[in-house]
Amino acid sequence: MIETHVDLQPLNTLAIAARAEFFARVENLEQLREALQFARNRKLPILPLGGGSNIVLTGHYPGLVIHQDMRGLELERLGGATQLTAAAGENWHRLVMHTVERDLGGLENLALIPGRIGAAPIQNIGAYGVELRDTFHDLQAVHIPTGELREFSADDCRFGYRDSVFKGAARDQYIITRVRLRLPDDWRARVDYPALKQYLDEHHEGAGGLTPAEIARAVIAVRNSKLPDPQQIPNAGSFFKNPLVDAETYRRLKGEHPELVAFAVGDNWKLAAGWLIDRAGWRGRRCDGVGVHDRQALVLVNPGRGTGAQVTGLARQIADDIRTRFGVELEPEPRYYP
Ligand code: FAD
Ligand code: NAP
């Protein structure tokens, strides 16, 4: 079941050419444990892979890539909520559509996010004011060093803004095998994000009385109008996180750039990284087959199938420029491997 020198180009949405020294596609717990044992015996590093939409391959992977392909989805009625239990290899967007087609609300704002369910808790996926943690209940994961199963509650996951324990204290320690969500019956639409609100005002005379499916369709339309489809233009979504800055930095920047796009988060401010990159003149620029998307400057694209080094080189140039111009640090959102 272990393959060698496997081409990863079709398995990452940036379409970077790279190979995995060893590769295993796992469909159940037993296969996963066997793959982990194989890696332990040879002291190989492990890359758990879902849809490959939030990684940057900077070279060949000198270890074992474990492609999570476990399937299964159950819906169960509990008092006041519907519980969804999904195996890690299920497609995220398909799960969202499965719920809205049954008139279940809660996931509609997260429509069209690429990737698989097992990766959703890693960065607590979010869009249009909704995050995974809003409906998350618990997950099950295998501990990589021992092969033991462990359950994580929402508290255990320590979700934050595009963040979780799996990016911190538990980084590289677990492979998620299933995720459980609860969608409460007392659902209320969340449609105050400007781009979504504007679309609904134009197409539905506002958001009143809309179903989850109608909102999902609006989210899909808004996303399709500005985000590149990875099948056509390879990309990894937002390449940088939106930086959080203190009030003093925000006041300085707002004084220098009155049009700055920023949102209050407690005592701090979240800056729209896309605005900073656009303002610095990067939107639409191309360099060695890689570039900055012309409709959303936060997205780096790879239409010329450039190398990982070319993608990370462009990201570094942009981050250096933003630091020089605005005194703000940009941190990549996708994880670099190896
Ligand atoms: P992968 O890229 O395969 O993996 C991502 C990380 O998770 C890696 O570190 C990997 O090792 C780890 N991982 C994957 N599966 C497991 C597992 N089962 N157990 C343990 N670790 C695992 N993200 C958002 O939050 N909001 C958005 O709106 C959004 N829009 C996007 C739009 C586009 C066009 C693209 C290309 C990306 C977008 N993303 C967005 C980023 C990405 O889709 C999400 O982060 C998604 O959850 C990644 O899923 P994946 O299966 O592709 O993960
Ligand atoms: P957008 O609507 O043009 O908004 C630009 C930025 O402003 C976003 O990053 C968003 O932050 C922030 N923002 C807008 N309205 C806000 C509000 N009312 N309160 C707080 N913050 C606000 O963004 P977009 O690029 O088209 O993306 C739309 C949504 O999809 C966003 O939520 C974005 O995060 C998500 N998305 C994520 C990825 C990814 O790879 N991570 C890729 C594509 C889209 P937030 O990012 O914090 O929401």
HEC per residue, 14-36: CCCCCEEEEEEEECCHHHHHHHH
0.95 cut: is pTM over it? yes
Where in the chain does DSSP place strands (E)?
3-7, 19-26, 46-49, 55-57, 61-68, 73-78, 81-87, 126-127, 130-131, 136-143, 149-153, 174-184, 235-238, 244-245, 262-265, 268-271, 286-287, 290-292, 299-301, 335-337
Q: What is the pLDDT of residue 287?
A: 86
Question: What gap in Å lies between CA 73 and CA 227, rounded to an integer?
Answer: 28
Question: Looking at 68, 93, 116, which one is the last position of a domain?
Answer: 68
Q: State the pLDDT at residue 198.
A: 94
**Residue 332 is part of which domain span?**
235-337
Average confidence score pLDDT of the chain:
97
Instruction: Give the pLDDT confidence score for residue 206 in this predicted structure.
Output: 66
> Candidates 298, 300, 330, 335: which one to mutate for ligand 2, based on the most atoms within 8 Å of Cβ?
298
Mutation pick for ligand 1 pocket among 12, 54, 223 (CB with most ligand atoms within 8 Å): 54
Same domain, 85 and 55: no
Whether residue 225 has pLDDT greater than 70: yes
Asked whether residue 201 is assigned to any structural domain, the reply reads no
Within a domain: residue 228? no
- Give the tens place of pLDDT for each residue, 200-211: 999 987 667 899
Query: Is 221 part of a structural domain of the chain?
Result: no
Are residues 295 and 318 located together in one domain of the fold? yes
Q: Is residue 324 part of a domain?
A: yes
Number of domains in the chain: 3
| pLDDT digits 0-9 by tens, 82-131 | 999 999 999 999 999 999 999 999 999 999 999 999 999 999 999 999 99
CATH number at residue 280: 3.90.78.10
Distance 67 CA to ligand 1 centre (A): 13
Whether 64 and 79 map to the same domain: the answer is no
Annotation marks residue 25 as catalytic: no
- Res. 152 pLDDT band, cuts 50 70 90: very high
- 227-247: per-residue pLDDT in tens? 999 999 999 999 999 999 999
Q: Ligand 1 in contact with 242 (CB < 6 A)? A: no
**Are the CB atoms for 1 and 31 separated by under 8 Å?**
yes
Residues 6+ apart with CB under 8 A from 201: none
Under DSSP, the state recorded for 229 is: P
Q: Is residue 225 part of a domain?
A: no
Q: What pLDDT does residue 170 have?
A: 98
The rounded Å distance from CA 115 to ligand 1 centre is 5
Residues 39 and 80: beta-carbon distance below 8 Å: no
Average pLDDT (46-63) is 98
Closest CA to 82 of 211, 213, 188, 183: 183
Rounded CA separation 57/6 (Å): 13
What confidence score (pLDDT) does residue 194 get? 92
Residue 250 shares a structural domain with residue 301: yes
Looking at the structure, do residues 140 and 77 belong to the same domain, yes or no? yes
Asked if the structure places residue 151 within a domain, the reply is yes
Counting from 1 in the atom list of ligand 1, the atom nearest the Cα of 68 is: 18
Atom of ligand 1 nearest to the CA of 118: 18
Ligand 1 atom with least separation from CA of 55 = 2
Closest to 1 in 3D by CA, of 19, 21, 25, 20: 25
53 flagged as catalytic: no
Question: Is-catalytic flag, 238?
Answer: yes
Q: Which of 240, 277, 236, 239 is nearest to 260 (CA)?
A: 277
Q: Which of 162, 178, 279, 283 is catalytic?
A: 162
126 CB within 6 A, ligand 1: yes
Residue carrying structure tokens 């609006």: 218
Q: Are residues 21 and 93 in the same domain?
A: no
DSSP string, 241-305: PPPEE-HHHHHHHHHH-TT--EEEETTEEEE-HHHHHHHTT-TT-EETTEEE-SS-TTEEE-TT-
Instruction: Check residue 34 and give its pLDDT.
Output: 97
Task: Find all residues with CB under 8 Å of 318, minimum gap 6, and list them.
Answer: 240, 277, 280, 282, 292, 330
**Cis before 338 (ω within 30):** yes
Q: How far apart are CA 239 and CA 56, in angstroms?
A: 10
How far apart, in Å, are the Cα atoms of 124 and each of 62, 93, 119, 256? 28, 15, 9, 33
CA distance 111 to 212: 10
| Ligand 2 centroid to residue 50 C-alpha, Å | 23
pLDDT in tens, 161-204: 999 999 999 999 999 999 999 999 999 999 999 999 999 999 98
Tell whether 45 and 99 lie within a shared domain. no
Residue 115 sits in a domain whose CATH number is: 3.30.465.10
Indicate if ligand 1 lies below 6 Å from the C-beta of 296: no
Nearest to 187 by CA among 106, 131, 268, 288: 106
Domain boundary among 184, 201, 227: 184
pLDDT score of 207: 67
Select from 12, 39, 68 the last residue of a domain. Answer: 68
